[in-house]
A = this chain, B = another copy of it.
Amino acid sequence: MVVANRHLPFPHPPPIARPYISPTVKTFVSLPHSTEAVIPTMTSSSRKLQVMTPVPSDIDIANSVEPLHISEIAKDLNLSPLHYDLYGKYKAKVLLSAFDELQDREDGYYVVVGGITPTPLGEGKSTTTVGLCQALGAYLNKKVVTCLRQPSQGPTFGIKGGAAGGGYSQVIPMDEFNLHLTGDIHAITASNNLLAAAIDARMFHEASQSDKALFNRLCPVNKEGKRSFTDVMFRRLRKLGISKTSPDELTPEEVKRFARLDIDPESITWRRVMDVNDRFLRKMTVGQGSEEKGMIRETGFDISVASEIMAVLALTTSLDDMRERLGTMVIGNSRAGEPITADDLGVGGALTVLMKDAIHPTLMQTLEGTPVLVHAGPFANIAHGNSSIVADKIALKLVGPGGFVVTEAGFGSDIGTEKFMNIKCRYSGLRPQCAVVVATVRALKMHGGGPGVVAGRPLDHAYVSENVSLVEAGCVNLAKHISNIKAYGVNVVVAVNVFSTDTEAELNAVRKFSMDAGAFDAVICSHHAHGGKGAVDLGIAVERACQNITQPLKFLYPLDISIKEKIEAIAKSYGASGVEYSDQAEKQIEMYTQQGFSNLPICMSKTQYSFSHDASKKGAPSGFVLPVRDVRGSIGAGFIYPLVGTMSTMPGLPTRPCFYEIDIDTVTGKVVGLS
């Protein structure tokens, strides 16, 4: 067995760079499990990464490495060309047939990476996910697949920049990762907006036609003088309890029930989407053209990744399952209070056709040539913030027993990991052995009472000089994440993503608190500066954690209790003493219960900046009452989402967006200025 190198040789002096930099600590704290010394070596299929100091910009590092042809990556995974489609030289869609072929094979280990409650700067969760996999694959000779979310293109041109990891732990080509990729988000935009157009068009046509005229248009007489129902119409008929098979058999009452959806415009929750940061579309009035005859309506756009269709993509398990989920998405109610679905509008099949390629995950690679599956990227507050089930399932078969699938969950354990366990694992039937919690000294100091951290402003002195007591005070946040995750029955490994300003005493404090709080292990990592080599200890700890699992997976709540009981179970895990419901929330809970949707899991829409609903409450607040102001449903995706506070679902552009830097070198064709 390969174990840790206690004194990882850093070939270069500690660099100063952004945002994660190698530690100034010269000697790493010894880890309890390190009983032998070993010098990690690159595996045969991986590449030598020549790191530079200071760490260059992300795009410069990404452009400095020539990616392997993606068929090489597929070959390393023993993936037959029958089971993938190339999209250029560096991307391939892995077909669901790959899973079918391997379905009898035993799964590999399943590792989820989450974080503590973050600062607005992010604590390097994607970077750690990638770095860990580079260590496992390129240094520890393990079969490994990284499963990541596809980022929204909007922020790439707005404030945030790209999301492919950072420094020497990145997915490449990073421009392709951050831009169109293989078109999945574009497919979501197209299908989301086809459904939106179908809603308004249907209301428009219903407004001017009698039941009979409507029916005659929906079921026209063909050249042979006959009329028939289409497949999707039979779905509506079944829902209405009408078992007749010929349009001519319907009574006038049945004709009315079938043809007139009678959508209540006030009830429509389906919005249009666009993968662009366009704040002026947040609230708008449509239908103002004279041809729309005054049927104006107030609505708005969300960013595409906030579409329920993205959540469907992330939670679906097969093409057939996706067809069902897309068809049962609820867009609002009839005036009589019945839920109206995409299939009621006749469009569930077309939505699936638009999504038929998007269901296949995209294979890419890390800087060190390990495989990555990129798939789905639902919002982590109004949705469940995890990459797709199908990617994880395929990956677990591809790595096989003894291999590792490392998947990322958005934000802290209260957000991404909780939903990973209670929603994603519930639908997938998969169980993780290990959860990695990414922490930074910076964020812990903030939780200990340090000054506010604001993106774009210089860090306060407290964050760049030693202050062990501030770190210790902040560890209450880390401890709560550890204990919350342990409750699911998985082993928790803390990964401390080091910065050059962190000191040995500070790092030791984090380790001690982690172990005291019940972590299986706590490891210092420098993968931003050193790639996989900087995360070898983490890889070893994760392997041990996976091998030493003793408990079954335990969910936080069963599905067969009431919506309120489920909300309260989650609130309690945050530290809340109770839950307060607005009248609107009460009304919605009653409606969803009446409509038969109370057995769905709950997806809390809450700030990621605190365990509570109040972003300013750092550390581990307790005794607060969680206010639920509204409750909505993503019925097709398969969850109810209570809104705790106001979540923006459409970002805006600042005065000087990222795009000012972004251009193309028209000679080489390379993208410049992506960050």
Contact = CB atoms under 8 A, between A and B. Distances in A.
Contact of A660 (B205, B319, B346): B346
Interface in A145-202: 153, 157, 175, 179-180, 183, 186-187, 189-190, 193-194, 196-198, 200-202
Contacts of A655: 202, 205, 209, 214, 217-218
A274 B193 contact: yes
A286 interface: yes
A189 B186 CA distance: 9
Given A179-B354, A350-B663, 8 more contacts: A196-B278, A197-B277, A272-B274, A319-B664, A320-B666, A323-B663, A346-B660, A350-B659
Nearest to A324: B666
A586 interface: no
A89 interface: yes
A187 B183 CA distance: 9
Interface string A274-296: 11111111111111110110010
Interface string A231-266: 111000000000000000000000000000000000
A667 B292 CA distance: 41
- Name the residue among A85, A197, A204, A348 with the largest chain B CB count within 10 angstroms: A197
A285 B282 contact: no
Nearest to A203: B280
- Name the residue among A230, A300, A323 with the largest chain B CB count within 10 angstroms: A230
Interface string A328-355: 0000000000000000001111101110
Nearest to A187: B180
A220 interface: yes
A12 interface: no
Contacts of A505: none
Given A180-B357, A231-B663, A276 B197 contact: yes
A638 B214 CA distance: 46
Contact of A356 (B196, B287, B659, B669): B669
A673 interface: yes
How many copies of this chain sit in the oligomeric assembly? 2
Contacts of A218: 655-656, 660
Given A196-B278, A350-B663, A356 B201 contact: no
A280 B298 contact: no
22 contacts: A85-B88, A85-B89, A88-B357, A179-B353, A180-B357, A189-B189, A194-B276, A197-B277, A200-B280, A201-B652, A218-B656, A283-B287, A283-B288, A283-B292, A284-B285, A284-B287, A346-B656, A349-B659, A349-B663, A353-B662, A353-B674, A356-B669
A369 to B, nearest CB: 20
B286 A281 contact: yes
B88 A230 contact: no
B284 A288 contact: yes
Contacts of A197: 276-280, 653
Given A180-B183, A664-B323, A353 B288 contact: no
A370 to B, nearest CB: 23
A25 interface: no
- Name the residue among A349, A352, A655 with the largest chain B CB count within 10 angstroms: A655
B193 A276 contact: yes
Contacts of A153: 190
B198 A659 contact: yes
A514 to B, nearest CB: 33
A297 interface: yes
A186 B175 CA distance: 17
A357 B180 CA distance: 9
A136 B318 CA distance: 43
Contacts of A10: none
B180 A186 contact: yes
A405 B435 CA distance: 59
Contact of A662 (B89, B349, B662): B349
A220 B657 CA distance: 12
Nearest to A662: B350
A190 to B, nearest CB: 6
Nearest to A275: B190
A93 interface: yes
B233 A671 contact: no
Nearest to A278: B197
A86 interface: yes
Contact of A664 (B288, B353, B657): B353
Interface string A67-105: 000000000000000000111110001000000000000
A277 B669 CA distance: 34
A653 B201 contact: yes
A583 interface: no
A661 interface: yes
Contacts of A272: 274, 278, 281
A200 B352 contact: no
A179 B355 CA distance: 10
A353 B671 contact: yes
A287 B276 contact: no
Contacts of A201: 277-280, 652-654, 657
Contacts of A657: 198, 201, 346-347
A194 B651 CA distance: 13
Contacts of A654: 201, 205, 217
Contacts of A194: 157, 276, 659
Contact of A292 (B209, B282, B292): B282
Contacts of A352: 663-664, 666
A344 to B, nearest CB: 12
Contact of A157 (B281, B282, B320, B350): B350
A168 B134 CA distance: 52
